[in-house]
Chains A and B, each alone.
Chain A
Amino acid sequence: MNLEFKVEGGDFTLAGNASSQIKKMLKQLNVDPRIVKRVVIALYEAEVNIVAHAYRGVIYAEIDPRGVRLKLEDEGPGIPDINQAMTPGFSTASAQVREMGFGAGMGLPNISENADEFKIESEVGKGTTLFINFKF
């Protein structure tokens, strides 16, 4: 099964909608609740990253008997130093985003901790793509 969701940058009112839809789908497919929990944490963080940092993005989710594969492709500023971005506590989020309780530098580490495979590709000035995989 393949799902696709558009995400608008800067629109926090809709942040989490795609994660919620995919969570419902995984539950309907009777995926192990422990895996659903991990997918939801990683996906929500990645979705919020698009909202907080990019102009727009698309989430692709592929679910089959082997597992869940997520690809989050955004048009945005890109990440100049991926290792630095992965450091817990490091954040480039705006003051406004931080006041909402986002941007604490926990997003990418949360994704990494919950995924079976996690890869970031980024080009400064163009955008970032995340590949997040879970095995059943």
Chain B
Amino acid sequence: MNVKEVAERLSLNVFSAPEGLDREVAGGYSSDLLSDVMGHAQEGQIWITLQTHKNIMAVASLKDLAAIILVKGFVPDQDTLELSAKEGIPVLGTKMQAFELSGKLYEMLK
């Protein structure tokens, strides 16, 4: 399954990097601690978080993550959008909170 299918099935907003929607999704990781994601997320996963600053893009790029989904209606900072476009890694968004979104994504990907 790619990021586009995930975005469509969960009715996610696409904030940035639509060219990255064909990235393949290997799984998901839910965390708001950057060191936790750095240490334990795996390549190709979608990262679910409420952090909106541009360092999330640095982490996503270094870990080769498929995309980031912001929960609870959070929107990315302007420089996050710019780095997302540069890296080609989409930032998506939803009004759902992390527990609900993680559950739905888990069901879809299992």
Contacts and interface: CB of A to CB of B under 8 A. Distances in A.
Main secondary structure of the interface of B (DSSP, over half): helix
Contacts of B55: 12, 15-16, 100-102
Contacts, number: 59
Contacts of A113: 39
Given A101-B32, A101-B33, A106 B39 contact: yes
Given A41-B38, A113-B39, A104 B33 contact: yes
A106 B79 contact: no
Most buried by B among A19, A45, A100, A113: A100
A13 B34 contact: no
A54 interface: no
B38 A110 contact: yes
Task: Name the interface size band of chain A.
Answer: 20 to 34
Contact of A20 (B32, B51, B62, B79): B62
Given A44-B59, A100-B55, 16 more contacts: A12-B53, A16-B55, A16-B58, A20-B58, A20-B62, A41-B39, A44-B38, A44-B62, A48-B34, A100-B53, A101-B32, A104-B33, A110-B35, A110-B38, A110-B39, A114-B39
A52 to B, nearest CB: 11
Nearest to B54: A13
A23 interface: yes
Contacts of A102: 34-35, 55
21 contacts: A20-B61, A20-B62, A23-B62, A37-B43, A40-B62, A40-B63, A45-B35, A45-B39, A100-B55, A101-B33, A101-B34, A101-B51, A101-B56, A102-B34, A102-B35, A104-B33, A106-B33, A106-B35, A106-B36, A110-B35, A110-B39
